[in-house]
Amino acid sequence: MNDFVFSYPTKVYFGEGSAKEALSSELAHTGNTVMLAYGGGSVKKNGIYDEIVTILREQGKGIVDFSGIMSNPTYAKVQEGAALAKKEQVDYILAVGGGSVIDCCKIIAAQAKTEEDIWSMEFVQHKLPHHAIPLGAVVTASGTGAEMNGGAVITNEALHIKTGVLGFAPRFAVLDPSYTLSVPFRQVISGAFDTLSHAMETYFGQSDQNNVSDDVALAVMRNTVTNMRRLLMDENDLQARGNLMWDSAMAENGILKCGRLTDFQAHQIEHQLGAYTDCNHGQGLAVIQPVYYRHILKDAPEKFAKFAKIVFNEDTAEAGLEAMEKFIKDCGLPTKMEELKSRTQITAKLLRQVADSTNVIQCNPRELSKDEIYEILVECV
Ligand code: NZQ
Ligand code: ZN
C-alpha cells in the first residue's frame, strides 16, 4: 500500500424517499436562499422538481432557479451560474441531476466566492480555490459518482479542453434509486458502463501485490456487471438500480483509490474526444476502452487474467477481454465512433487534434505515445 490520507466529506442519504429527510436535516440551519440547479428539464417532467420545491418551501427557503445545465457542462455555463449566485447572494446550492449538473455546480460554488477566474487560477497559476458556497446533490441519474467527490469535469469550449477542475465535494448526497426510473434506458446503461470503467481504470493503475483496493475494485466491477445484466432483463428492477447507484458512488468516492495509483488513460482520451464532438461520456468509453485494453493487454498479463476470472468468469486474459467486448454489445452500447453523437464530422485531422491534446498517464501498465493514442482513435472508427 502507498501512503495516503483519506477523509470523507459527503454524507449520503440512500433510499426511496430519502430527499425529505436529507433536505430537512441538512438545510435546517443554513441561510435562506437556495439555488436550485438542474439540467434540460427532465426533473420537471418526472415530478422531482416539484417534490424538492415543496420540501424547500416547507422550510421557508427562497428559491433561485438555475436551469439548462447541459451534458458535458461548459465553462460558460459555470460563469453564468456563478454570476447568478453572486447577484442573488445564494446561501446554498442544490444540484438536482446527473454528473453534469453536479459537476457544474461544484465549480459555480467556488467561482461565486472569488473574483479570480477559476480556470486560470487552477491551470495557469496552479492554485486551488479555498472557499465555496455549500453544495448538496440530489442524484437523478447515476454512473459518474460525481456526488461523492470534489472533482468536476468541465468543457472549456474556447480552448477545446474537457478536463477535471477541482472544486469541493457536496456536503450531502441524496441517492434515491426510484429517481432514476425515468432516465432513458440508453443513458442508464451508459452511466453504468461509466461506473464499470472507473473501477477498471483504478484497478489497472499501478499497485502492489494483494492490494485490498484491487480486490474491492474487482468486487465493484463484478457487481456492476451483474446488475447491468439484471436491468437488461427488466429495466424497472429497482433493486438492481439501487445496487448500481451505490456501485457508482463506490467507484468514484476515493475508496478504491486508497494506497495505489490509477490509470484513467481511457478517460483522458474520451474527455478530449468529448471536447471536440460533445459525445456521451459512457458511450465514448464503451468504444475506446476495449481498444485501449487490446493495446496494453500484454503489459499487465496477471492483472488482466485476474480481471477475466473475477469479473467475467473466464480463464485467460484474452477471453476476459472478449467477454467484455461481448458484454458491451449485449448492452447495446456503441462499439464504433460512428455510433456516437458528434457535433462535428470525424476526420483524421480531428482525431489527430484529439490525440495531441490528450493527457498522457504515467502510472498505467504502459505509458502511451501521442501517436499510439492516435492509432487507438483510428481503430475506434
Ligand atoms: O438535462 P436533463 O433534462 O435533466 O436530462 C439528463 C441528460 O439528458 C438526463 N436525466 C438525468 N436524470 C434524469 C434524466 N432523464 C430522465 N429522468 C431522470 N431522472 O440524463 C442525461 C444525461 O445526464 P448527465 O448528467 O449529462 O449524465 P452523467 O450523469 O453521465 O454525467 C456526465 C458528465 O459527468 C462527467 C462526464 O465527463 C460528463 O461531463 N464525469 C464526472 C465525473 C466526476 N465528477 O467524478 C467522473 C466521470 O468520469 C465523468 O467524467
Ligand atoms: Zn467516467
CA dihedral 234, 240, 244, 250 (to 10 degrees): -170
Local structure of residue 336 (DSSP, 8 states): S
pLDDT bucket at 294, cuts 50 / 70 / 90: very high
Pocket of ligand 1 from Cβ distances under 6 Å = 39-43, 46, 71-72, 97-101, 103, 140-141, 143-146, 149, 151-153, 179-180, 182-183, 187, 191, 194, 252, 267, 281-282
What integer pLDDT is reported at residue 218 of this predicted model? 98
Helix, strand, coil proportions of the chain in percent (round to 5)?
Answer: 55, 10, 35
Average pLDDT of 197-215? Answer: 95
Smallest-distance ligand from the CA of 257: 1
Rounded CA separation 315/306 (Å): 9
What integer pLDDT is reported at residue 86 of this predicted model? 98
What integer pLDDT is reported at residue 38 of this predicted model? 98
The answer to whether residues 57 and 86 touch, using CB atoms and an 8 Å cutoff, is no
Q: DSSP secondary structure string, 59-79?
A: TT-EEEEE--PPSS-BHHHHH
Rounded CA separation 93/66 (Å): 10
Rounded CA separation 293/289 (Å): 6
What integer pLDDT is reported at residue 75 of this predicted model? 98
pLDDT bucket at 148, cuts 50 / 70 / 90: very high
Q: For the ranges 191-195, 205-209, 245-249, 353-357, which has the lowest average pLDDT?
A: 205-209
Residues sharing a CB contact under 8 Å with residue 181, sequence separation 6 or more, in sequence order = 46, 236, 238, 241
| pLDDT over 90 (residue 295) | yes
What integer pLDDT is reported at residue 276 of this predicted model? 97
Rounded CA separation 114/112 (Å): 6
Sign of the Cα pseudo-torsion (250, 254, 258, 263, in order): positive
CA dihedral 311, 245, 338, 321 (to 10 degrees): -10
**Mean pLDDT (the chain, rounded):** 97
The three grid cell numbers given for residue 78, joined into one nine-digit string: 459555470
Ligand 1: centre distance to CA 101 (Å): 7
Rounded CA separation 381/379 (Å): 6
- Residue 53 CA to chain centroid, in angstroms? 26
252 CA closest ligand 1 atom index:
45
The answer to whether residues 105 and 95 touch, using CB atoms and an 8 Å cutoff, is yes
Average pLDDT of 122-132? Answer: 97
Q: Is the pTM of this model over 0.85?
A: yes
Place of cell 461565486: 112
Q: DSSP secondary structure string, 4-59?
A: -------EEEESTTHHHHHHHHHTTTS-SEEEEE--SSHHHHSSHHHHHHHHHHHT
For 32-53, the pLDDT digits (tens) are: 999 999 999 999 999 999 999 9
The three grid cell numbers given for residue 171, joined into one nine-digit string: 456536503
Element (DSSP H or E) covering residue 164: strand 161-166
| pLDDT over 90 (residue 310) | yes
For 60-117, the pLDDT digits (tens) are: 999 999 999 999 999 999 999 999 999 999 999 999 999 999 999 999 999 999 999 9
Rounded CA separation 140/135 (Å): 16
| pLDDT over 90 (residue 8) | no
Rounded CA separation 293/284 (Å): 14
274 CA closest ligand 1 atom index:
37
Residues sharing a CB contact under 8 Å with residue 17, sequence separation 6 or more, in sequence order = 176
Question: Which residue has a Cα nearest atom 15 of ligand 1?
Answer: 183
Element (DSSP H or E) covering residue 120: helix 118-123
The answer to whether residues 32 and 61 touch, using CB atoms and an 8 Å cutoff, is yes
Those residues whose beta carbon sits under 5 angstroms from the ion ligand 2 are: 194
Residues sharing a CB contact under 8 Å with residue 40, sequence separation 6 or more, in sequence order = 67, 68, 69, 70
Rounded CA separation 132/127 (Å): 15
